[in-house]
Amino acid sequence: MNRRHASFERKLLSASALAQTLAAVSRPLVFTNGVFDLLHRGHVTYLAQARALGASLVVALNSDASARRLGKGPDRPLNTLTDRAAVIAALEAVDYVTWFEEDTPLACINLLRPDILVKGGDWPVENMVGATEVLSWGGRVLSVPFEFQRSTTALVEKIRAV
């Protein structure tokens, strides 16, 4: 990824590069993940809530291929990983953005060893990838209730209906 354009792009780091800087990252470290294709109010509210749980927030994004495998539609994500990462990195609540090619962020979670793993309210703790691992090293796992019920899939359907 090209990080020359804006200061927020310094937040974009591969998981391995981020792991090398962990000693300088303020703790507790909060980790969340997702596609974050079309940013909406639900996303930004959720990310602000996640950030409030700790001293630093890492957002791990599904790569384009990983996002396509989630079954949201053959043309998703609408925005490329590079664009999605830049938009998420521009948010004040976000300290670092990384990405993963696999179907789940488990390798990122194991590499970064966050203190807090968080997902949105549609994810029960027992279904969260990495929950067992985070709990095993003394971390916390939380499901943050939605304050605003929004969906990128619903937004895409609304746009297509116009």
Q: Is 1 inside any structural domain? A: no
Domain that holds residue 110: 7-161
pLDDT band at 150 (very low <50, low <70, confident <90, very high): low
Cβ-proximal residues to 123 (8 Å cutoff; 6+ apart), any chain: 143
Q: Is 133 inside any structural domain? A: yes
Q: Is 125 inside any structural domain? A: yes
Buried b (16+ CB within 10 A) or exposed e, 140-154: bbbbbeeeeebebee
Q: Is the pTM of this model over 0.85?
A: yes
pLDDT band at 3 (very low <50, low <70, confident <90, very high): very low
